[in-house]
Amino acid sequence: MQRLLFPAVLSLVAIVIGIPSYVTWSRRWPGMIAGFDPARCTDVDALTRWIGKTGVAMAAVLLAAAVVAWIVPEAIPAVAVAVVCLVGAGTTMNGCSRFTKR
């Protein structure tokens, strides 16, 4: 059961992160960004590209982890998934500060 459940959950999380990130990146749609305030943003286009690319990268790594968990169920990459999500969130927040007026 765990052999199928963990990769399925990882894949679902990757889809939930990846699709909105791709839409934000490809359509340059800042409305998809939570807490977006156009009055505090210096470059909306660059911000949407940054948010979209980091989200798509996180989703790709999560999908790769799901494939590894499905192929080799003994080596559950839960720690790697947690590290990727934390590093991805930190990178996104750090990059977003470049586009914020002080």
More confident residue, 14 or 35: 14
Quick one: CA torsion of 70, 75, 77, 72, rounded to 10 degrees?
-20
> What type of residue sits at position 77?
P
Q: Residue 43's pLDDT is what?
A: 87
Mean pLDDT of the chain: 84
Number of domains in the chain: 1
Could you write out the DSSP letters of every residue in 14-82? HHHHHHHHHHHHHHT-GGGSTT--GGGBS-HHHHHHHHHHHHHHHHHHHHHHHHHHHH-TTS--HHHHH
State pTM to two decimals.
0.82
Q: Residue 75's pLDDT is what?
A: 67
**What residues make up the domain containing 66?**
2-99
Write the pLDDT tens digit of every residue in 63-91.
988 888 888 877 667 777 778 888 888 88
